[in-house]
Amino acid sequence: KKVIFSGMQPSGSLTLGNYLGALKNWVKLQSEYDCYYCVVDMHAITVPKEPKDLRKNTFEVLANYIAAGLDPEQVTLFIQSHVSAHAELAWILNCFAYYGELGRMTQFKDKSKKLDNNAITAGLFTYPTLMVADILLYQADLVPVGEDQRQHLELTRDVAARFNNRFSETFKIPEPFISKEGAKIMSLQEPQSKMSKSDSNDNSYILLMDDADTIRRKLKRAVTDSEGVVRYNENQLGVKNLINIYSKITNKTTDEIVSSYDGKGYAEFKNDVAEIIIEELRPIQEKIDYLLKNKDYLEKIYIMGAEKAENKARKTLRKVQKKVGFIPR
């Protein structure tokens, strides 16, 4: 079986963007591939984070994975910090990634712009090499992510090829797996930027855990434009984003959606989008509630997952350590 690796940060609770852009695809791929799905808590401390929130969000993300349909018996679900090979390989790869290359990462540029100078950590800068290590440790063939992660995937391929050329064939060069429609869900408040769970404005995102009234309220407040006509184009980014969400959930084409709102206004359209989201999330939310009340079960899952992940990761790490010249103990 071909291998898949992907992960999400417990930098908050998961958004509709995380779900439609990535998690939904993970579920589709689980029976066909050998999947490693991780909660990347080490990535989540690259920006300031309260320890108690990190613990809470880590449990939530794991519960969200399972509730969205990932089967813990079929895929390997684990927490990144439980497998120390991630940190160990990341250090080595930091010595093969270039300063200039990391400086060109748009996620770093976007995130560092929002922080005070003395809050921009070295960890935020080297975040991409930790992600490179995550992927390469499992010799992943495919990495299902949202469009926003494409650049980090390119870096992963470059660093892997560089290492292979310098020594000998060590890493599999992974392919990104990015579904086209709705690959990037945008903020409801600033539809030119992506929907992000760490956005300070909570009207900008829908969480998988938002209740029906919250979803209705956030949709009512979603930014649109003064055109007043439901159309799919670059001048109506807010409306376009809502059409994408609608399409991704119902599998209707954007054309079908646009024609069904011929002569109707934004209020009715937004109202329908809200109800579609609520229906999609209802069964997931019931499972999330149940899982978060059963932490013992979640603990069993992540312990089992870490053991499986560690076995695979250790093999790659040993190979790499030997190639760079570290003496085995």
Catalytic residues: 111, 194, 197
Q: Is 8 in the site for ligand AQP (CB under 6 A)?
A: yes
321 is in an annotated binding site: no
In the complex, the smallest distance separating the C-beta of residue 327 from ligand AQP, rounded to whole angstroms, is 35
Region of residue 228 (left: phi > 0; alpha: psi -120 to 50; beta: else): left
* CB 135, CB 7: distance < 8 Å: no
Residue 195 CB contacts under 8 Å (≥ 6 apart), including other chains: 15, 16, 17, 185, 186, 187, 188, 204, 205, 206
CA distance 101 to 245: 33
In the complex, the smallest distance separating the C-beta of residue 268 from ligand AQP, rounded to whole angstroms, is 25
Segment near ligand AQP (CB under 6 A); pick from 95-103, 143-151, 283-291, 317-325: 143-151
Edge to edge, the sheet with strand 3-8 lists 76-79, 34-39, 3-8, 142-144, 175-177
H/E stretch holding 103: helix 99-103
3-class state of residue 15 by DSSP? strand
Determine the size of the site formed for ligand AQP (CB under 6 A): 19
Q: Is 198 in the site for ligand AQP (CB under 6 A)?
A: yes
204 is in an annotated binding site: no
Q: Is 58 in the site for ligand AQP (CB under 6 A)?
A: no
Q: Is 22 in the site for ligand AQP (CB under 6 A)?
A: yes
Would you say 178 or 257 has its CB closer to ligand AQP? 178
CA distance 212 to 229: 26
134 is in an annotated binding site: yes
Segment near ligand AQP (CB under 6 A); pick from 15-23, 83-91, 159-167, 262-270: 15-23
Would you say 22 or 219 has its CB closer to ligand AQP? 22
- For ligand AQP, the binding residue among 63, 90, 185, 208 (CB under 6 A) is 185
- For ligand AQP, the binding residue among 9, 13, 94, 204 (CB under 6 A) is 9
Q: Which residue is associated with the tokens 């990190």?
A: 54
- At residue 312's C-alpha, the angle toward residues 310 and 313, to 5°, is 65
Contacting residues toward ligand AQP, per CB under 6 A: 8-9, 11, 15, 17-18, 21-22, 145-146, 148-149, 184-185, 194-198
